[in-house]
Amino acid sequence: MSFPLEDERQVIALITNKHVVEDASEVTAICHLAKGDAPSGQFVSCTIPTTSDFVFNHKAKDVDLCALLFGPILHQAEEKAPFYSFNHSTPL
């Protein structure tokens, strides 16, 4: 999911439940590497800490949702090799 910012940029985030990450020190995403414009069948692990710099809890304490910034995961994947992605630019 992406969230628009005031200056027309967007922030990509993963939405999950607070209880899923609350006792974790980090979250690992498995990114599919690319072979040209297609998936390669190879994967790379990318990890981010579950600190307040990367995880944003829903403001209402009784709502079990949070957002994890996905940009740091994408940057890690890009540093290792081209990763496979698809166009998911449908506006919210």
Instruction: Give 39-55 pLDDT, tens digit per residue.
Output: 888 888 889 999 988 89
Determine, yes or no, domain membership for 56.
yes
* Structural domain span for residue 24: 2-80
Q: Which element (helix H / strand E) includes 46?
A: strand 38-49
What local confidence, expressed as pLDDT, does residue 21 receive? 93
What local confidence, expressed as pLDDT, does residue 90 receive? 45
Q: Which residues contact 56 (CB under 8 A, 6 or more apart)?
A: 13, 66, 67, 68, 69
Determine, yes or no, domain membership for 28.
yes
- Residue 91 DSSP label: -
Nearest one of 44, 60, 50, 46 to 26, comparing CA atoms: 50
Determine, yes or no, domain membership for 73.
yes
Number of domains in the chain: 1
- State percent of the chain over pLDDT 90: 29
What local confidence, expressed as pLDDT, does residue 5 receive? 60
What local confidence, expressed as pLDDT, does residue 63 receive? 95
